[in-house]
């Protein structure tokens, strides 16, 4: 299988993303987000999307672009405090939101990729997070049952990848990307550096190529910063 495509647009076209799809995306804030794929998804016009991501970007970048065009029907997220568009749509009843504790979100995505049927966690016990969910007392402590997240598609970004789809992430840009890569039925990867098979030390591979269906070298401008702090 030839996994290499020209760009994000071709990756999305070949994947066949339709209205109503569920997409899990790597990234944390604006760090390590699959920005090329998000822009191409906006341009494709697909709508009624469910997006699973730690956060919803900012007003003019990341998933904020899809919120501007009202292509997202539901967000499953942990932190959404940097996006005024998100706030307006949520408070106006235009956007369905499922807030998940950050560690629980990471584990739900990982569990989806690992084929785990569910897991118990103490996070959220006694709060709205636990409403309607099974709870159990284990070794004297109460836990809530959380279910895995599996998506139709996964969008991830890596620092380096080879044409077979093996991926390496760089520093904090790794974040949710390795979990997301395993949790999509079809995984699209954008990389900063695309190399030939054999150019990556196998011991450095984080995401094996078996999880990746399409890969391309993205184009990136200056790094965006959510909140610039000056001394």
What residue segments make up the domains of the chain, in order of their start? 8-117+148-217
CATH of 8-117+148-217, one of 3.40.50.300, 3.40.1080.10, 3.40.190.10, 3.40.50.720: 3.40.1080.10
- At 226, the pLDDT band (50, 70, 90 cuts) reads confident
215 pLDDT more than 80: yes
Q: Which residues contact 207 (CB under 8 A, 6 or more apart)?
A: 156, 158, 165, 166, 167, 169, 177, 178, 181, 182, 189
pLDDT tens for residues 124-169?
999 999 999 999 999 999 999 999 999 999 999 999 999 999 999 9
Strand ranges in 118-173 using DSSP code E only, listed in sequence order: 119-121, 135-138, 141-146, 151-162, 167-168
Q: What is the mean pLDDT of the chain?
A: 93
230 pLDDT more than 90: no
Least confident span in 9-23, 76-90, 142-156: 76-90
């Amino acid at each position: 299988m030839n996994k290499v495509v020209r760009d994000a647009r071709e990756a999305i076209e070949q994947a066949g993303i339709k209205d109503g799809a569920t997409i899990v995306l790597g990234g944390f804030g604006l760090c390590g987000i699959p920005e090329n794929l998000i822009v191409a998804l906006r341009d494709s016009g697909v709508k009624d999307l469910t997006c699973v991501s730690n956060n919803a970007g900012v007003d003019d970048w990341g998933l904020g672009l899809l919120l501007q065009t009202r292509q997202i029907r539901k967000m499953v997220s942990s932190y959404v405090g940097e996006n005024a568009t998100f706030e307006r749509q949520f408070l106006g009843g235009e956007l369905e939101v499922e807030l998940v504790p950050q560690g629980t979100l990471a584990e739900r995505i990982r569990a989806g990729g690992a084929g785990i049927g569910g897991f118990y966690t103490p996070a959220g016990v006694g709060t709205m997070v636990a409403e309607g969910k099974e709870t159990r007392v284990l070794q004297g402590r109460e836990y809530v049952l959380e279910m895995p997240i599996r998506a139709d598609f996964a969008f991830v970004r890596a620092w380096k990848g080879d044409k077979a789809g093996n991926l390496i992430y760089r520093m904090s840009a790794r974040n949710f990307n390795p979990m997301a890569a395993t949790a999509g039925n079809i995984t699209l990867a954008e990389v900063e550096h695309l190399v030939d098979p054999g150019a990556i030390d196998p011991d450095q591979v984080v995401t094996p190529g078996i999880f990746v269906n399409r890969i391309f070298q993205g184009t990136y401008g200056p790094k965006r910063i959510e909140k610039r702090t000056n001394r």
